[in-house]
Amino acid sequence: MNIILLGPPGAGKGTQAGKLVDARNMVQLSTGDMLRAAKTSGTDMGKKVAAIMDAGELVTDEIVIGLIEEKLDGEAGGGFIFDGFPRTLAQADALGELLERKGATLDAVIELQVNDDVLVERIVGRARDAVAAGGTARADDNEESLKVRLMEYYKKTSPLIGYYYAKGDLKAVDGLASMDDVASSIAAVLDA
Ligand code: AMP
């Protein structure tokens, strides 16, 4: 079973993906995590994307599609969870083609519905928690980058809701519920 978790920054995609990895042995493919790893290890690609990511803008389709293509040849476990990918219509088309080429299907697109006030609170909280735990906040977890990330989401990613609705793949889940309730709603979709 291959699924997409769709939603704005702070909607809980990463948290819910982690739960699915534990509960169902699924494999989380987070392009954000892959890009942050490239940035930290200082690869040429990482250096190229660092400033774009910190500003909250999207990196090119070509880069993220390449990252996903590589991972699709790896271990699939109980299926792939696409977390933070696709984020543009071009990425969505590319994912469809990559899966088709592998003879795989996309089984559900789960939209985590939240409102903007909650997103800002969660992201500011995430930055505060990271610092309180002795670490550092994500470079893009600040108010200025968050504004850009939200605008990128509404301009480029939210059209995917209509795209997957028209394909018949979209399932909406209330992302404002507690973490466990959101997990239960997702489980209900996957087990339906
Ligand atoms: P995330 O961890 O999913 O919030 O992603 C962090 C940042 O990585 C985003 O703000 C973008 O700069 C970049 N990024 C992650 N996934 C994608 C994607 N699918 N397309 C373009 N940029 C992405």
The tens digit of pLDDT for each residue in 6-57 reads 999 989 999 999 999 999 999 999 999 999 999 999 999 999 999 999 999 9
Looking at residue 189, its amino acid is V
How far does residue 20's CA lie from ligand 1's centre (Å)? 20
Q: Is the CB of 11 under 6 A from ligand 1?
A: no
Residues 6 or more apart whose Cβ sits within 8 Å of residue 188: none
Q: What average pLDDT does the segment 93-103 reach?
A: 96
* Given the residues 19, 39, 87, 171, the one annotated as active site: 87
Please give the model's pTM, rounded to 2 decimal places.
0.94
The DSSP secondary structure of 102-128, one letter per residue, reads HT----EEEEEE--HHHHHHHHHHHHH
